Structure 1
């Protein structure tokens, strides 16, 4: 795997996003690597729970805008297919995390932005450091972050989802905790791995069959509408990429300028 490192310690595995030079941006290769890591840990009977973490100062900066910029350079008739393919892969990654049969703990020690916020919300629990932030700022790039909005609505309600998705204003770790998004108050960065491992062990003490059934109840039965919303949101986000404002936002990001709407 090119951008993912897998570590194991007893019955706990850690999938480490290893793309610090791009702040963990979700390229197609990285998304495929996370899928592969999940598949391997699913098949490994010794592993009872999994932690998702990241190297570098950013947990995950979200969609890879350089990939979206590359798509914009394709002939027009090819672009729409590629937009849909990219957002479909992101939706499938979030669904794979939600359907993963073992407890998943996201360890966020830095910004989790847009789709990076979405993948943390797709895990069962989030352990955050005091320097973590969470944002859903797609609109500031002329994009539609529908997958993140759907997951945030599922986890915390539509009021917070609307506030974050429409303004792009980030939540601090303390604010995320007050909103009920974290499994405990923020911790020091140097303690985050130990505390995440503690939650991973605590969440795997029950029967594996009961844990799997409980996850299915929460994420697939109670969250049935949410799974449908993720698929629809991926299509909406892809369509939004065809607009002039999306193009301006992507170009502004690549050129390090501010878009004018």
Structure 2
């Protein structure tokens, strides 16, 4: 598969997707949206790929959101079915995605980062939902996800003003997992290596339980989790037998991902 506005590389079990429009601060036009959706579709379908890392080309920007030189999406029909950046409405997949945020993550770029499971940011990273300052709203999930991440009052203070946050502020508020000096991608790959040291079946089940459970009362979630597809696949997998066997034998487990 060839791309014009992104690059995709595989390093072992890790897929690295890079938004490659540094001259536009990695803002997304319509074709870039389609390419990201295809890249994440391919990642989800590849049983040999266990973790994805999403980043932006160059040191200045992760993603500046929608390219304002392109037609503005007027409804969800103007975006891929999987949402802005091919990820913000991708609610069912269970493979983990890590955002490596170098530079600015504005508007849709922030929304993409919020849609990832882990966010690693360089010190120069900056986050904002500035849509209210240009007569728009953050319809790529930002207005819905940010209150869930940091609480309603804190989120309102940011969303109603469009105020910019530093990486350190993101870490303090809890939507950033780690701040590094410069190389967010290297740090994200380190996180990915820690994840792939675990059973992918367990990782996927854990992600599905956590995300599905957010929408249910605790008592209902405790019962429902046993029927989640990723949980059933984990319990029926070779990995479920390999883990205890490796622990008993004091050896490194050989995860199969099946």
TM-score interval for Structure 1 and Structure 2 normalised by the shorter chain: 0.7 to 0.9
Equivalent in the alignment of 2:5: 3
**In structure 2, distance between residues paired with 1:154 and 1:214:** 18
Match of 2:157 among 163, 186, 195: 163
Matching of residues 226-241 of structure 1 within 5 Å: none
Equivalent in the alignment of 1:25: 27
Distance change in 2, residues 1:28/1:224 (3 Å): farther
User: Residue by residue, what CA displacement relative to the aligned partner does 1:180-238 show, whole Å, maximum 9, x if unpaired?
Assistant: 11112x1111x32221111011123322222212212222331579xxxxxxxxxxxxx
Equivalent in the alignment of 1:149: 143
2:128 is the counterpart of 1:126: no
* TM-score where L is the length of structure 1: 0.74
Q: Runs of 4+ in structure 1 displaced over 4 angstroms?
A: none
Higher relative contact order (CA 8 A, sep 6+): 1
Distance apart, 1:149 and its partner CA: 1.3
Tell me if structure 2 keeps the 8 A contact 1:105–1:196.
Answer: yes
2:49 is the counterpart of 1:50: no
Instruction: Provide structure 2 residue ranges, at least 5 long, that are not aligned to the other structure.
Output: 218-258
Count of paired positions: 211
Q: What is the alpha-carbon root mean square deviation over aligned residues? A: 2.1
Distance apart, 1:83 and its partner CA: 4.1
**In structure 2, distance between residues paired with 1:223 and 1:64:** 33
Match of 1:218 among 210, 229, 247: 210
**In structure 2, distance between residues paired with 1:139 and 1:53:** 25
Distance apart, 1:93 and its partner CA: 3.2
Match of 1:61 among 60, 64, 68: 64
Equivalent in the alignment of 1:105: 98
* TM-score where L is the length of structure 2: 0.75
Distance apart, 1:124 and its partner CA: 0.3
Instruction: Provide structure 1 residue ranges, at least 5 long, that are not aligned to the other structure.
Output: 72-81, 226-261
**In structure 1, distance between residues paired with 2:48 and 2:160:** 43
Tell me if structure 1 keeps the 8 A contact 2:87–2:115.
Answer: no
Distance apart, 1:13 and its partner CA: 1.4
